[in-house]
A and B are shown apart, each in its own frame.
Chain A
Amino acid sequence: DTEVTQTPKHLVMGMTNKKSLKCEQHMGHRAMYWYKQKAKKPPELMFVYSYEKLSINESVPSRFSPECPNSSLLNLHLHALQPEDSALYLCASSQRASGFSTDTQYFGPGTRLTVL
């Protein structure tokens, strides 16, 4: 099983809402990632978790709050977002705890987020 699943597929939220994105993998991977992707642009790294601990935070605004409850699950909590946060949010995982830049990353299909 080489699948990363993400829910929901689409999300529309107002600027005062609180919502969460979920990501799950059952490949036994030790690193998990959140990316933000605007249309026709490469993915921008937001956060990296290694062994369920936050390893990289790319200076992401605090209105985005990641959580890794266990080695298979990754959440992204959203609060007080801005319209410019509308994007495709991708989750990925890779095998080794320290292979952020060397291991193959397996991506989920993403959550298309629209902030009104």
Chain B
Amino acid sequence: DAGITQSPRHKVTETGTPVTLRCHQTENHRYMYWYRQDPGHGLRLIHYSYGVKDTDKGEVSDGYSVSRSKTEDFLLTLESATSSQTSVYFCAIRSGQPNEKLFFGSGTQLSVL
């Protein structure tokens, strides 16, 4: 899948615990994204990065933080997980213009009990 790996693939955690999801790419692409997918809402952008240490918020960023200390890794952290954050999380990468299409990872199924 275009050299993009998400880990873990599945995680079950308890409310109030911190959770970190990892996205790793081997394509050296500039842009990296975190989306969540929920029934009835499609994909919603959480955060994205346009370079090392350069990140910005998406439409559903509350309760999430991100970090990108290396080109290849983009971490999504739920500081204190809530049941509303139960979702499937997708990472995506993009090289930049003129190639504007996204390449997606396989997703992480997160359940917060």
Q: Do A and B bind each other?
A: no
A-side interface residues toward B, CB under 8 Å? none
B-side interface residues toward A, CB under 8 Å? none
